[in-house]
């Protein structure tokens, strides 16, 4: 079975690599990424989330040429992982801002 299926199954059933339940808690965060639209930008963003251990739960991408606004709802285990991910996203070619969206009210 390919690794993709293994990882997907593990997330779907809430299992870690040993087959037992996850012991850490996670929380949802909404992030917005703004930049210049370019070929493969979404791929680079998705890879960065995956490499920092953050799961994408929802994505909304809006392009008004030549700009793009990507809004993601992600699942993150701790604030340090979130901080590292945002820093890496800001360093992706053509991205000029990435930030956590906070509720207003």
Per domain, the residue ranges of the chain are 25-100
Do 65 and 27 contact (CB within 8 A), yes or no? Answer: no
| Segment 18-22 mean pLDDT | 48
Q: Could you read off the pLDDT of 22-80 as tens digits, one per residue?
A: 556 899 999 999 999 999 999 999 999 999 999 999 999 999 999 999 999 999 999 99
What is residue 2's predicted lDDT score, i.e. its pLDDT?
A: 43
**Dihedral sign from CA coordinates of 96, 70, 27, 14:** negative
What is residue 96's predicted lDDT score, i.e. its pLDDT?
A: 96
Strand, coil or helix: what is 37? coil
What is residue 43's predicted lDDT score, i.e. its pLDDT?
A: 97
What is residue 70's predicted lDDT score, i.e. its pLDDT?
A: 98
Which of 6-15, 16-25, 71-80 shows the lowest mean pLDDT across its residues? Answer: 6-15
Do 84 and 52 contact (CB within 8 A), yes or no? Answer: yes
For domain 25-100, give the CATH superfamily. ACT domain (3.30.70.260)
Q: How far is the CA of 49 from the CAs of 7, 45, 66, 103, in angstroms? A: 14, 6, 24, 22
Do 72 and 30 contact (CB within 8 A), yes or no? Answer: yes
Spatial separation of the C-alpha atoms in residues 80 and 36, rounded to whole Å: 27
Give this prediction's pTM: 0.74
């Amino acid at each position: 079975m390919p690794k993709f299926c293994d990882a997907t199954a593990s997330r779907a059933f809430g299992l870690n690599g040993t087959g037992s339940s996850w012991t850490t808690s996670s929380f949802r965060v909404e992030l917005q990424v703004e930049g210049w639209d370019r070929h493969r930008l979404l791929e680079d963003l998705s890879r960065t989330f995956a490499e920092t251990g953050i799961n994408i739960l929802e994505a909304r991408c809006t392009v008004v040429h030549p700009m793009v606004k990507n809004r993601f709802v992600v699942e993150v285990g701790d604030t340090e992982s979130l901080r590292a991910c945002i820093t890496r996203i800001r360093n992706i070619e053509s991205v000029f801002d990435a930030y956590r969206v906070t509720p207003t009210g």
